[in-house]
Chains A and B, each alone.
Chain A
Amino acid sequence: MHPALQGLITIVIGVGGCVGYFYFSNFLLDRFLLPARAFTAAETAARRRLGLIFLFALPTLLILALYLSGTGLSGIASGWGLFWLLVVLALIFGLWRLTGFVFATGETTAGHNISHANMIRPWLFLLPAILALGLYLTYPVFETLRLSLIHRNGGVGIGNYTFMFGEQKFWEAMRNNMLWLVVVPAMSTAFGLIVAQLTDRLSWGNIAKMLVFMPMAISMVGASVIWKLVYESRPAEVEQIGVLNALWVGMGGEPQQWLTLPVWNNFFLMVVLIWIQTGFAMVILSAALRGIPEETVEAAIVDGAGPFQIFFKIKVPQIMSTIVVVWTTITLVVLKVFDIVFTMTNGQWGTQVLANYMYDKMFRANDWGTGSAAAMVIMLLVTPILVWNVRNARKEMR
C-alpha cells in the first residue's frame, strides 16, 4: 500500500477512532448505564443480571485473549504466572466493585445516577491518554531499568554499570556532557537576555527577534549542515570556503580542521545548540521583561540609576525565576542532545556525549544492557529537574 494512502487511512482511523470512542463511551454512559432518572424494579433486576454476566465475561475474555496472543497458558504458568494470577484476581475484584457501581444495582434515584456518571466520566476522557502515557513513557522507564540490570550473558546484577564505568568513552561522554551543561544553558540564556533587552524598545525589535528566533524552526540536522559549512576546511594552498577558516587565514593563521581539534571541537559543537536555543531564551525572557512593573524602573531612573544599573539591579532580579525556568529547560535539551553530535562528529575526536554513547551501544554494538545503563544515567541526571518541576507545579495548583 502506498504510504501516503496508509497515512490518510491512519488519520481517518485515528481521528475517527478517537472521536468515536469519546462519543460512544459518553453516549453509553448517559443513555444506558446511568441515565438521569430512577429505575423501575424490573429494570434493576435486569441490570443485576447484566452486571453478573459482565462480571464473568470480561475476565474470561481477557484470559482467552492472553491465550490466543501466544503468551498462552504456558507463558502464564512460567515465571510470570504468579504475576498474571494477581493481575487477574485484582481485575475480578475491581470489576466486582465496578459492576455494582456502573450498573447501579442498588437503590437508584436520578441524583444518584448523575453523580455516579460524573465520577466515571473523567476516566472516560482520560483513558486513551493514560494508556498512551503509561505504555509509551512510564513503562519504558521501568523496563529500561530492568534491561540495564540484565547482562549480555544472561546474568543479573550491576555488571552493565561496572562495565560502563570501566569504559574510557563513557567518562569522555560524561565530561563532555558536563561541559555542555555548563556552557550551553549559560550562553543561550545570556545571549537571549541581551537580545531581549536590546530589542525591547526598538522600533524594528520584533523583526530582529523573529530573525534570531528562526533557528528554532530548523532541525538540528539542518543546523549541523549549516555549521559544518562554517567550519569547512580546505588545504592551505586553495581558497577557504568555510567562513571561520577564511577569517582565521585572513588573520594569518593556518587553516584548521575545527571539528577534530581536541577539546575545542566540543565548543564548536556547542555553538550550534547555543545558536538554536538563544531564540527560545529570548522569547521567554522578552515576555518577562515586558512584565516588569514600569514603576520600579521609573523609580530607579528618578533615583539616578544608569541603564546598566537598571538592567542588572532592577530588571534581572525581578525576572530571576524566569531565568531559572529558561536555564532548566535548556539544560533538559542539553542532557538529551544527540542529533548535533551524531551528525557532525559522531562522537569521534573526543566529542562523545551520553545520548550518542547510548545510541552507539544500543544500535551499533547491539549491547542493550549497557545502552540501557547509559539511558538510566541520563534519567538520573534529569531526575532533580523532574522533582523540582513537579514540586513547583503542585505549589502552583494550591
Chain B
Amino acid sequence: MDNIAGTKSGLTWAVHLSVIFLVLLWLFPTIGLFVSSFRTADQISATGWWKALFPTEQNLVVRAAEPSAQVLRDGVYMIEGNVFEDFSVGVIAHWGVSSREISAYQPGETAELRDGSSVTLEADGSYRVESAEEMSGSRGQRIFVTATTPPEFTLGNYEFMLFDPQNSEGMTKAFFSTLTVTIPATIIPILIAAFAAYALAWMEFPGRALLIACVVGLLVVPLQLALIPLLKFHNAIGIGKGYLGVWLAHTGFGLPLAIYLLRNYMVGLPRDIIENAKVDGATDFQIFVKIILPLSFPALASFAIFQFLWTWNDLLVAMVFLIDSSGRTTVMTRQIVEMLGTRGGDWEILATAAFISMAVPIVVFFALQRYLVRGLLAGSVK
C-alpha cells in the first residue's frame, strides 16, 4: 500500500535493515544466556559468549616427552607422542620451536634444531623428534603451538543441574514444585470464572452492571495489598504456608482477568443460538455446558495460557504463600534468585538454571501464540 505512490526502494531496504537490527537487539541477550548454558565454566570465564560461536585461536606452550622416552629405530633415536596428551584443544594452525618465532612452521613441516635433531608436528598434535645421536638432558623439547579450537558445546551443565543426584542445587525438585503450583492454579480459576462470566454476559439481574464494574476495578488492584491480610487469614484457618495456600491465592488473583476476558468473549456469541436453545427448553446449566463452553474455547485457551505463564513465572506469591523456612517447596524462580546470591559469578550454573525454568513457557509461547495474542487483544483493546 505504501508503495502505491512509488515509495523509494531505499526506504524499503531501510525498513528491512532496521527490523533486522531491532530483532537482533531483542534476541541478543537471550541468545547470550542460551549459548552460555552450553559452555563450561572455564570457557565462560575465558571468553565472551559471542566468541563461542566462532573458532578460537589459542597459543600454547607444550613440551615433547623427556629424552628418557627415546627409542632407537633404524639407527635413529626417536621420541613420538602427541602434544595434546590430556585433552584435545583443536587443530594446529602453525607452530614453532622458539619463543621469538612461534609461527615459523606449518603442520606437517619439519623443524631442524641446533643440536642436530629435528621435530615434525602434524595438525592433530602428534609429533616426532628425531636425532642421529642419543638425546640427553632431563626435559623435552619446547614446542609453541597455535591451535584453532572449533566451537565446542557441552550438555554437561544440564546433566549436572537436572540429573546429578549429588548436586544439592539441582533444579529437578524445584521444577516439579513449580509444576505442582501451576496446574491446579490454572484450571480452577477457569472453571469458577466461566460460570461467573456466563452470568454476567447472558443473565439479567439487578446489580449486574455494578458487578462488572467491580471486576474491572479489581483487575488493577495490586496484589501487594493482599499479601499480609491473606497470609494472616491462611494462618488463622490453619493452611499456613504451602501448596493449598498458593493455589487459593493464585485462584483469587487470577479471577478478575479470567472473568473479564471470558465475559467479553461470551457477550459476543450470537444471541440466536442461546435463545433458540431456551425456547427448546434447555436450562441455563445445559446451555452453559453444551453451547457456551465449547464456543468459548478460544477465550478459555487465552486465559489458560496467561494464567499458566503468570503462575509459572511468579516469584512474589510463591515466596509469600508457599515457601516456608524449610525451603522444601521452593520454586524455580526463587531458587534462581538464591543462586544469584550464592553462585554470583558461576554463569554456567545460572544460565542453565534460568533456561530450565524458561524452557516450558517458551515452548508454550511458540506453540499457542495465536491464543495468547487473541487474549491480549480481547483484554485491552477497546
Contact = CB atoms under 8 A, between A and B. Distances in A.
A214 B285 contact: no
B316 A215 contact: no
B224 A198 contact: no
Interface string B282-297: 0111001000000000
A358 B319 CA distance: 14
B199 A125 contact: yes
B23 A212 contact: yes
Interface string B260-300: 00000000000000000000000111001000000000000
Contacts of B187: 11, 14-15
Nearest to B189: A132
Nearest to A123: B205
Interface string A326-354: 10010010011011001100000000000
B202 to A, nearest CB: 9
7 A-B pairs with the lowest CB-CB distances in the bound complex, closest first: A136-B252, A219-B313, A129-B196, A217-B365, A143-B229, A125-B199, A140-B226
A386 B33 contact: no
A371 B231 CA distance: 14
A215 B26 contact: yes
Nearest to A141: B225
Interface in A361-398: 362-363, 368, 371-372, 375-376, 378-379, 382, 385-386, 389-390, 393-394, 396-397
A128 interface: yes
A199 B44 CA distance: 35
Interface in A21-57: 22-23, 26, 30
A132 B252 contact: yes
A210 B252 CA distance: 31
Interface stretch (A175-183, A225-233, A262-270): A225-233
B176 A222 contact: no
Q: Which secondary structure dominates where chain A touches chain B? A: helix
Interface in A182-202: 191, 194-195, 198-199, 201-202
B89 interface: no
Interface of B: 1-2, 4-5, 7, 11, 15-16, 18-19, 22-23, 26-30, 32-33, 36, 44-50, 176-177, 179-180, 183-184, 187-188, 191-193, 195-196, 198-200, 203, 205, 208-209, 211-230, 232-233, 243-244, 247-249, 251-253, 255-256, 259, 283-285, 288, 309, 312-316, 319-320, 329, 333, 336-337, 340, 347, 350-351, 353-354, 357-358, 361-362, 364-366, 369, 372-373, 376-377, 380-382
Given A133-B255, A208-B23, A241 B33 contact: no
B253 A136 contact: yes
A385 B280 CA distance: 45
B377 A128 contact: no
Contact of B230 (A136, A202, A220, A335): A136
Contacts of B364: 217
Nearest to A332: B220
Contact of A288 (B217, B365, B373, B381): B381
A297 interface: yes
Contacts of A242: 48
Contacts of A68: none
A385 B48 CA distance: 44
Contact of B47 (A3, A239, A298, A378): A239
Contacts of B351: 225, 229
B216 A219 contact: no
A280 B376 CA distance: 8
Nearest to B199: A125
Contacts of B244: 10
Contacts of B203: 118, 121-122, 125
A76 interface: no
Contacts of B23: 208, 211-212
B185 to A, nearest CB: 9
A379 B358 contact: no
A165 interface: no
A30 B283 contact: yes
Nearest to B258: A129
B229 A140 contact: yes
B5 A389 contact: no
22 contacts: A11-B184, A15-B188, A129-B195, A129-B196, A136-B251, A136-B255, A137-B252, A140-B225, A141-B225, A144-B229, A210-B366, A221-B336, A221-B357, A246-B50, A284-B377, A287-B381, A297-B1, A363-B320, A375-B222, A375-B224, A378-B224, A386-B220
A216 interface: yes
